[in-house]
A and B are shown apart, each in its own frame.
Chain A
């Protein structure tokens, strides 16, 4: 478990302010945000590599705020792998054992388990320079978990990998999390990685945590304009609300129920804006007459801009759903907004 209490970090040109966060035992938690949001600084503060100005850090019941990194019981995996270039894969993996002498028999079991799970047995006597990106990252994971850390810190572990290696390491991470007792904290700017791996997540912006919650929930129901834009909400409109309706310009959109007056935006994910030539009302969606403004072909899917009542919605449609018909030729279409997919904040 990781508990951050009122954490403040002050660096030369960067500050983390009032960080409160509790991550449960053996949870996989993602810390998300754009470049420069302070994710890595927070990670390094938890690791003890960056001094803390005020506040406290707990691992379980143990306070680690003032401890040097080597006495915290952590593992770190960096984006650039940070393997020791002068040591073989095996030497890299067993590096931590020099300093954890007490648990030798146990370490042997763990070593075999990790080498097996991460498929490293054929690489053990090679030097890191001769490995592929995916192999390097697997070695880095084995090295970090070899000392059975209480907390595993992952700094953009997938960002530098080619797409095919990326999937392989991502699956490995998921598997490792299942078999390990450690609490996983991953920093990432990639929302899909977080969605795939993390149970809960936080969105960070300019040194503050904007939203903490179940990953899926942040994805569906971002709490702020920043979080909404970060998770790829395309259709975000300033709105006024009357009972169970949102008013955007001249357009009135039905909502599931009445919303509080403090809300200022209504939004819907582009994949929740299906378009068709016929007006169909299924699952309680309300068809709105619209005209197509722009169609961009992305290969497997099309992104379509449609205008209804003076409001332009972004829609993403898989090509298969359009049955190879070209929406550019359509004169009149309908967009279907399901009240349950509309999100206000």
Chain B
């Protein structure tokens, strides 16, 4: 057998360490609560409500990202102009800003002393302590993940396909819906998954804008603070399981569709 260099064993051992570092805590947490405790937690209406709210708010945030982010992603993928880098950096800002700062920033715009806040107030829209507020924050943190993924997807489609479609008589819109969108929809789905995943995990920004109604991460934190590790674990397990299930279903669906086409 070929003799390996020590460097090879170094790469293998560090890989093992990293994998263990990720898998061990998760595995331990998921297996820590007993089955009866998990069942008990599922009967808790507050837990169900918070997990549902997390799903609902994150899903809505992804949908909003889809509606507003898709055209922007397309624009960034297809055009070159001075200042494009700047716009791309602005879109990446929510990734690098500390999460509580995001919450504070949004509240300062939505407050009574700000004209936007006053308009929202007149329209009867409340950000502080509302589902609207939670969704607003989640869109803020999730958008970059959606836009970047979908932009890459659009970029991987040759503009020549669109040129040919235009030459054959299709308008810009016709071309987008007949050619670009059908070819990009897989990256759009992946973008939605990325955005939802990011939104579900948000805690710091949400807790500032809306402690109540409680999303799952806030509830997990509260249970941990009030009752300790043991009582927060079952809620965490359920949140993780529901998320994994949803993403798995989406992935399987998209993979199967991709094979068919």
Please report A residues at the B interface, Cβ cutoff 8 Å.
12, 44, 47-49, 68-70, 72, 74-76, 78, 80, 82, 84-86, 95-96, 98-100, 140, 143-144, 146-147, 149, 153
> In the complex the two chains form, what is the Cα distance from A78 to B161 in whole Å?
10
Q: Would you give the 0/1 interface string for B6-47, flagging 1 where the beta carbon is closer than 8 Å to chain A?
A: 000000000000000000000000000000000000000000
* A86 with B163: CB separation less than 8 A: no
Q: Which of A48, A70, A78, A144 contacts B171 (CB under 8 A)?
A: A70
> In the complex the two chains form, what is the Cα distance from A85 to B165 in whole Å?
13
**Residues of chain B within 8 A of A149, CB atoms compared:** 167
Q: Which residue of A lies closest to B183 (CB)?
A: A86
**Residues of chain A within 8 A of B178, CB atoms compared:** 95, 98
The verdict on A144 contacting B167 (CB below 8 Å), with A82-B158, A82-B160 known, is yes
**Residues of chain B within 8 A of A86, CB atoms compared:** 182-183, 261
Closest-CB distance, A124 to chain B (whole angstroms): 17
> In the complex the two chains form, what is the Cα distance from A70 to B175 in whole Å?
10
> In the complex the two chains form, what is the Cα distance from A99 to B173 in whole Å?
13
> In the complex the two chains form, what is the Cα distance from A149 to B160 in whole Å?
18
In the complex, chain B residues 166-220 whose Cβ is within 8 Å of any chain A Cβ: 166-172, 174, 178-179, 182-183
* B161 with A70: CB separation less than 8 A: no
> In the complex the two chains form, what is the Cα distance from A84 to B164 in whole Å?
9
Q: Given A49-B166, A86-B182, 19 other A-B contacts at CB below 8 A?
A: A48-B166, A68-B166, A68-B172, A69-B167, A70-B168, A70-B171, A72-B167, A76-B163, A76-B164, A80-B160, A82-B160, A84-B179, A86-B183, A95-B178, A98-B169, A99-B169, A99-B170, A147-B169, A153-B167
Could you list 6 examples of A-B contacts with CB < 8 Å?
A: A44-B163, A47-B167, A68-B171, A70-B169, A98-B169, A144-B168
> In the complex the two chains form, what is the Cα distance from A44 to B166 in whole Å?
12
The reply on B80 being an interface residue by CB < 8 A is yes
The verdict on A76 contacting B167 (CB below 8 Å), with A84-B179, A86-B182, A86-B183 known, is yes
Closest-CB distance, B261 to chain A (whole angstroms): 6
* A70 with B163: CB separation less than 8 A: no
> In the complex the two chains form, what is the Cα distance from A44 to B172 in whole Å?
16
* B160 with A147: CB separation less than 8 A: no
The verdict on A75 contacting B167 (CB below 8 Å), with A12-B80, A84-B179, A86-B183 known, is yes
Tally of A-B Cβ pairs under 8 angstroms: 70
> In the complex the two chains form, what is the Cα distance from A147 to B171 in whole Å?
15
Q: Which 5 A-B pairs have the closest CB atoms?
A: A99-B169, A96-B168, A69-B166, A82-B160, A76-B167
**Residues of chain A within 8 A of B158, CB atoms compared:** 80, 82
Interface residue count for B (Cβ, 8 Å)? 20
**Residues of chain A within 8 A of B165, CB atoms compared:** 84, 95
**Residues of chain A within 8 A of B163, CB atoms compared:** 44, 47, 49, 69, 76, 78, 82
* B167 with A82: CB separation less than 8 A: no
> In the complex the two chains form, what is the Cα distance from A78 to B178 in whole Å?
20
| Chain A CB within 10 A, most for which of B163, B171, B261 | B163
Closest-CB distance, B203 to chain A (whole angstroms): 40
> In the complex the two chains form, what is the Cα distance from A69 to B164 in whole Å?
9
* A100 with B169: CB separation less than 8 A: yes
**Residues of chain A within 8 A of B166, CB atoms compared:** 48-49, 68-70
**Residues of chain B within 8 A of A85, CB atoms compared:** 183
Q: Which residue of A lies closest to B185 (CB)?
A: A86
Q: Which residue of B lies closest to A71 (CB)?
A: B169
**Residues of chain A within 8 A of B169, CB atoms compared:** 70, 96, 98-100, 147
* B80 with A147: CB separation less than 8 A: no
**Residues of chain A within 8 A of B174, CB atoms compared:** 98-99
In the complex, chain B residues 112-167 whose Cβ is within 8 Å of any chain A Cβ: 158, 160-161, 163-167
Closest-CB distance, A100 to chain B (whole angstroms): 6
In the complex, chain B residues 65-104 whose Cβ is within 8 Å of any chain A Cβ: 80
In the complex, chain B residues 219-261 whose Cβ is within 8 Å of any chain A Cβ: 261
Closest-CB distance, B79 to chain A (whole angstroms): 12
**Residues of chain A within 8 A of B161, CB atoms compared:** 82, 84
> In the complex the two chains form, what is the Cα distance from A98 to B164 in whole Å?
14
* A98 with B167: CB separation less than 8 A: no
Q: Which residue of B lies closest to A146 (CB)?
A: B168
**Residues of chain A within 8 A of B171, CB atoms compared:** 68, 70
**Residues of chain B within 8 A of A153, CB atoms compared:** 167
**Residues of chain B within 8 A of A96, CB atoms compared:** 168-169
**Residues of chain B within 8 A of A95, CB atoms compared:** 165, 168, 170, 178
Closest-CB distance, B8 to chain A (whole angstroms): 37
> In the complex the two chains form, what is the Cα distance from A153 to B166 in whole Å?
13
* A75 with B160: CB separation less than 8 A: no
Closest-CB distance, A93 to chain B (whole angstroms): 10
Closest-CB distance, B186 to chain A (whole angstroms): 11
> In the complex the two chains form, what is the Cα distance from A88 to B164 in whole Å?
16
* B183 with A98: CB separation less than 8 A: no
**Residues of chain B within 8 A of A140, CB atoms compared:** 164
Q: Which residue of B lies closest to A49 (CB)?
A: B163
Closest-CB distance, B192 to chain A (whole angstroms): 20
* A70 with B170: CB separation less than 8 A: yes
> In the complex the two chains form, what is the Cα distance from A149 to B167 in whole Å?
9
**Residues of chain A within 8 A of B167, CB atoms compared:** 47, 69-70, 72, 74-76, 144, 149, 153
Closest-CB distance, A86 to chain B (whole angstroms): 5
* A78 with B160: CB separation less than 8 A: yes
* A143 with B183: CB separation less than 8 A: no
**Residues of chain A within 8 A of B168, CB atoms compared:** 70, 75, 95-96, 99, 143-144, 146-147
